[in-house]
Amino acid sequence: MTSRVFIAATGRNAGKTSVSLGLISLLVAKGYKVGYMKPIAQRHVRYGSRTVAEDALLMKKVFGLGGDLEVMGPFIVEKDLTTRYIQGKVKSPEGRILKAYREIERESDVVVIEGTGHAGVGSIFNLSNAAVAGLLNAPVVIVGEGGVGSTIDRLRLNHSFLQSHGCSVLGVIVNKVKPDKYDKIGHLLRTAIGKRSNLRIFGFIPHRSILSAPTLSVVKEELRLKVLNGDGSNATSAWNERIESIVVATMEPHEVLETVARSKDRTLIVTSSDRSDILLGALALYHSKVPSFAGLVLSGGPPARIIMDLISVTGLPVLVSKEGIYRLASLIHGLTVKTTPEDELKIKVLTDLFRKHVAGEDLCESIFAPHEVTLSWKTRIRLKLLAVSEFFFRVVARLKRLMGQPGG
């Protein structure tokens, strides 16, 4: 029988995808044939002529997983879908999810099922993460963000919600733990969660700045900024180096130059397009090949023609927006940095952190152990109906093939 595990979380951006990458990497290294599924996907991308789940595309490209992308991400929450569902114009995704899972299951030793947001997300479709895990009879691993009070509250709340849906919770992985508080948080959570809540903790993964730092290309795409200078499509250029610091340049030019030149982090300057003094200073940084200088984001519009002429003969990355300076800086700081298939260094860091800080052998043992079935009578009926419909579908397909043969 195919084993399975559902990766849930206490909230958005807790690290479900990071944990899924680490777990799949471990399972593949052990020689298992791994399937992946994102039952309900909120983030999606265009891939050729199709709209596909972003995380499904990531896993397929990184690990070369088999299966159709539309099966790996069977239900995508596109614009206005929730409104149309409430109006009765969209059918429940339940049957589609079950059918997709059965198809992936047939070709896999183990299936990693990644949820969306916290355990209650998806309730609008009467299919919360907890309900999907129960529907697929998948034991759950909860991913929480490193902290103490709020982390404990969220882990217990999500644990209770999952249990109320009959889910078997294997344990938790605490992600994004601050390195300077790693030992303290580990001790406190093992006491509060491991002992008092009887929840197994598989590991604590420390935070690394590279994992949350966006590239200039991501800043451009996510904020839909216009490229004023530089080749933003060049995958090998400075556009794909990570932005670790931002300087909002409203001070004197010499202060900006000193701040950037002394920084050990890749630094992006955000300033107004009419600050010709700052722009000339930025050009000086560029020509001096200051390694920490990453590029410019301008507020307002293109700079004066003479300044633009000086910029245009360089390879300096420059973006422009109509947003105000402080609004721009706030938007860049608040970006959610998702992992892409091209983030080879980031993926290596993620998988290495997982291997080092998660008890992988214990986790695998828990996933492959027999689990008690606690499905509701409604779910059991749905599964039986799906099995019957799949049987008749195969029979009809078989008859059609026979009828199409010569002499049939």
Q: Give domain status of residue 392, yes or no.
A: no
Q: Give domain status of residue 201, yes or no.
A: yes
CATH code assigned at 116: 3.40.50.300
Domain that holds residue 14: 3-208+339-375
User: How confident is the model over 220-257, as pLDDT tens digits?
Assistant: 988 999 998 877 565 557 788 888 899 999 999 999 99
In 3-state terms, what secondary structure has residue 124? helix
Rg of the Cα trace of the chain?
25
Among 100-104, 254-258, 334-338, name the one with the lowest average pLDDT. Answer: 334-338
User: How confident is the model over 281-315, as pLDDT tens digits?
Assistant: 999 999 999 999 999 999 998 999 999 999 999 98
Q: Both 95 and 16 in a single domain?
A: yes
Choose between 46 and 296: higher pLDDT: 296
The side-by-side arrangement of strands in the sheet containing 267-272 is 226-229, 318-321, 293-299, 267-272, 245-248
User: pLDDT confidence of 171, banded at 50, 70, 90?
Assistant: very high
> What's the half-sphere exposure (Cβ side, CA atoms, 13 Å) at 171?
20
Percent of the chain with pLDDT over 70: 91
* pLDDT at residue number 338: 80
49 pLDDT exceeds 50? yes
Q: Give domain status of residue 390, yes or no.
A: no
Tokens read off for 70 = 């539309």
Tokens read off for 101 = 């899972």
**Which of 282, 304, 333 represents a domain boundary (last residue)?**
333
CATH code assigned at 230: 3.40.1390.20
Per the rule left: phi > 0, alpha: psi between -120 and 50, beta: everything else, 401 is alpha
Q: Both 153 and 256 in a single domain?
A: no
* pLDDT at residue number 335: 80
Which residues have C-beta within 8 Å of that of residue 138, sequence separation ≥ 6? 4, 5, 6, 111, 113, 167
377 pLDDT exceeds 80? no
| Euclidean distance between CA atoms 271 and 268, whole angstroms | 10
* pLDDT at residue number 361: 95
Q: Give domain status of residue 353, yes or no.
A: yes
Q: Give domain status of residue 381, yes or no.
A: no
| Euclidean distance between CA atoms 186 and 199, whole angstroms | 14
* pLDDT at residue number 407: 46
Q: Give domain status of residue 402, yes or no.
A: no
Position of tokens 């307002």?
A: 300
Q: Give domain status of residue 394, yes or no.
A: no
In 3-state terms, what secondary structure has residue 204? strand
Backbone angles phi, psi at 169, to 5 degrees: -100, 115
What is the DSSP code string of 48-91? TTEEEEHHHHHHHHHH---S-HHHHS-EE--TTHHHHHHTT-S-
192 pLDDT exceeds 60? yes
Mean pLDDT rounded to a whole number for the chain: 88
Is the CB of residue 39 less than 8 Å from the CB of residue 97?
yes
| Euclidean distance between CA atoms 323 and 327, whole angstroms | 6
Q: Both 239 and 364 in a single domain?
A: no
What's the longest Cα–Cα distance across the chain?
A: 88
Arithmetic mean of pLDDT, 361-378: 76
Q: Both 146 and 254 in a single domain?
A: no
What is the DSSP code string of 238-273? GGGSB--EEEE--S-HHHHHHHHHH-SS-EEEEEET
Q: What is the pTM of this model?
A: 0.80
Q: Both 305 and 251 in a single domain?
A: yes
Q: Both 304 and 363 in a single domain?
A: no
Q: Both 251 and 294 in a single domain?
A: yes
Is the CB of residue 229 less than 8 Å from the CB of residue 310?
no
Nearest to 72 by CA among 85, 90, 54: 54
Highest mean pLDDT (candidates 169-183, 184-198, 334-348, 374-388) = 169-183
Q: Both 181 and 323 in a single domain?
A: no
**For the chain, what is the domain count?**
2
The amino acid that residue 259 corresponds to is: T
* Dihedral of the alpha carbons of 202, 208, 212, 215, in degrees to the nearest 10: -140
**Which of 282, 314, 333 represents a domain boundary (last residue)?**
333
Q: Both 193 and 100 in a single domain?
A: yes
* pLDDT at residue number 91: 87
Q: Both 70 and 196 in a single domain?
A: yes
| Euclidean distance between CA atoms 299 and 270, whole angstroms | 8
Q: Both 202 and 290 in a single domain?
A: no
